[in-house]
Structure 1
Amino acid sequence: MHFLLPASLIPPNAAAGTVSYYVGIAVRIGMNVLGALVLMVIGIWLARRLANFAERAMGRAKFDSTLVGFLRNLVYGVLVALLAVMALGVLGVPSAPLVAALGTAGLAVGLALQGSLSNLAWGVLLIIFRPFRVGDFVTVAGVDGTVENINLMHTQLLLPDGREAIVPNGKVGGDAITNYNRRGRRRFELTVGIGYKDDIGAAMAEIRELFAADPRILKDPEPGVWTKGLGESSVDLVVRAWTRSADIWATQTDLLRAIKERFDDKGISIPFPQRELTVVQGVLPVGAQQGS
């Protein structure tokens, strides 16, 4: 078995088979190995310092802790990989084939983990741009729930009925996101019907008094009540009011009950659907009589 040594390891003017020839080769190999070790030791120390510096800088910039840890490890891993390639170059190993092999392996891994990498990329973007935060009530990928956790691969939601949904970040970022808490306030809408014989102005005045009586209903934007339409059995009023996001469900249900009780007290009717039927009596056709 024969081994071919790199030309850089062969001393100039050395005759094959001489002691000095092999000693020169051993010295050169030893120096290259020592240089590679020194490069790796110093390089790893510098890579760790740079990664820690980047971590502190991202912490001062108030990056998410999950993202900070991920980026810190990414920076460190890239620097160590570059050091390994440089160390192999010092040892005389050609770096071009190694880089090509690493690129091919990276491409194969990327194709195999395409879905996971998509989730990872969207996870980084969601953490950076913050379209929602933990505690927000959102609609993502067609799922309604309160955000419990956001990590690099998926978003964890608590559904209103107590179930838990884990949505991949690729679906979260690739679809519309509705955040119900981002602005801190929300508007709700109620439809109330009154009888055709009732006074519309009086009914509206009663509802406006209920606006003023409930401190949870915001004065700015101003709440209001309008005539929405003429239904089959009622005049429909639409009620719109703003409240804090945390109070919306309790406020709108309490207001609806208060409207019903106030209308009952003031004699304003809330009709239920009714239909008038007209029965016409007459002589049935001969065929109908025979069929009966």
Structure 2
Amino acid sequence: MDESIDETLKQGADTVELVTQTAIELGMTYGPKLLLALFVLVIGFWVIGILLRGVDRALDSAKVDATLTRFLHSIISVVLKLLLIVVFASMIGVETASLIAMLGAAGLAIGLALQGSLANFAGGVLILLFKPFKAGDIIESQGYLGRVREIQIFNTILLTLDNQRVIIPNSLLSNGCVTNLFCEETRRVDVTFGISYEDDITKVKKLLHDLISSDERVLKDPAFEIYVSAHADSSINILTRCWVKSEDYWPMHFGLIEKVKFAFDENDITIPFPQRDVHLHQAN
């Protein structure tokens, strides 16, 4: 009985000694690598923090949109940290070739599955970076006219003039035609008025000249213009062109139409409507 216990204790002591020896060997072999890898990991995170702060300052100096700045900050942070973790794993002896291949395959699969979203993301980056329009601008695109409420990474939100919300994918805006109606300080107001063939063109042009020149919203430079633009089916068309500040465009446009109607009525100038003369010939 005593001999059995002694044998068991001896086997246990041998096992502890073997484990201890193995641990010491592993520590001697991998300890320096692990310590060095941990040191590189800590320094790497510190360097990444410095780089991200530098990127933020550069984007802020370039006046990049805050939404794009935050998104680029996150993307750069994730990419750099993944690279650092791969380096760390390689330093401690982990086989990284298969890991990189797996990450590449996963990235390719995700890219193919989200190619539409990635196109919208790329469009959003281009819009926020080059700023063809900004929040608050009135634009026309994809058959919609409205004020830009918000530019997101994947979509742009418009509020139409009758206050409907329209969400347009950024890929369509970045690759399609966009009209920014009031991005410039001034705009030209073009309005055409029809008069009858019996009316005095010189009198009408003088009347229009007096109406436009008396309006304080009309800019002196460039000077406004009045032309006979067409001999239409039922009217002589008079085209007026005047320059105003962008915020005065619609008030001037609609106000001029109203003023001209009152002035034409007071001066017995006819605003014709489409008509057709029918001649009947009696057969012999």
Q: Which residue of 2 aligns with 1:87?
A: 88
**Can you give the 5+ residue segments of structure 1 that lack an aligned partner in the other structure?**
1-16, 284-292
Q: Which residue of 2 aligns with 1:110?
A: 111
**Aligned counterparts of 1:144 and 1:233: Cα–Cα separation in 2:** 32
Q: CA deviation at 1:130?
A: 0.4
TM alignment of 1:111-150, pairs within 5 A: 111-150=112-151
**Aligned counterparts of 2:153 and 2:46: Cα–Cα separation in 1:** 28
TM alignment of 1:241-260, pairs within 5 A: 241-260=242-261
Q: CA deviation at 1:184?
A: 2.2
Q: CA deviation at 1:150?
A: 0.7
**Contact 1:119–1:154 (CA<8 Å) still a contact in 2?**
yes
Q: CA deviation at 1:30?
A: 3.1
Residue identity over aligned pairs, in percent, reads 37
Whether 1:231 aligns to 2:232 is yes
Deviation digits for residues 112-143 of structure 1, max 9, x if unmatched?
A: 11111111111111101000011111112232
After TM superposition, the runs of 4+ consecutive aligned structure 1 residues lying more than 6 A away are none
Q: Which deviates more from structure 2 when the two are superposed, residues 156-165 or residues 138-147?
A: 138-147
**Aligned counterparts of 1:183 and 1:19: Cα–Cα separation in 2:** 79
**Aligned counterparts of 1:216 and 1:18: Cα–Cα separation in 2:** 93
Aligned residues: 267
Whether 1:47 aligns to 2:58 is no
What is the SS of the residue equivalent to 1:241?
strand
RMSD of the TM alignment (CA)?
Answer: 1.9
Change (3 A) 1:18 1:143: closer
**Contact 2:189–2:252 (CA<8 Å) still a contact in 1?**
no
Q: Which residue of 1 aligns with 2:263?
A: 262
Q: Which residue of 2 aligns with 1:191?
A: 192
Q: CA deviation at 1:50?
A: 1.4
Deviation digits for residues 32-54 of structure 1, max 9, x if unmatched?
A: 33332222222112211211221
Q: Which deviates more from structure 2 when the two are superposed, residues 108-117 or residues 138-147?
A: 138-147
Q: Which residue of 1 aligns with 2:10?
A: none
**Aligned counterparts of 1:215 and 1:193: Cα–Cα separation in 2:** 25
What is the SS of the residue equivalent to 2:260?
helix
Q: Which residue of 2 aligns with 1:161?
A: 162
What is the SS of the residue equivalent to 1:138?
strand
**Can you give the 5+ residue segments of structure 2 that lack an aligned partner in the other structure?**
1-17
Q: Which residue of 2 aligns with 1:10?
A: none
Deviation digits for residues 46-81 of structure 1, max 9, x if unmatched?
A: 211211221122112211111111122222212111
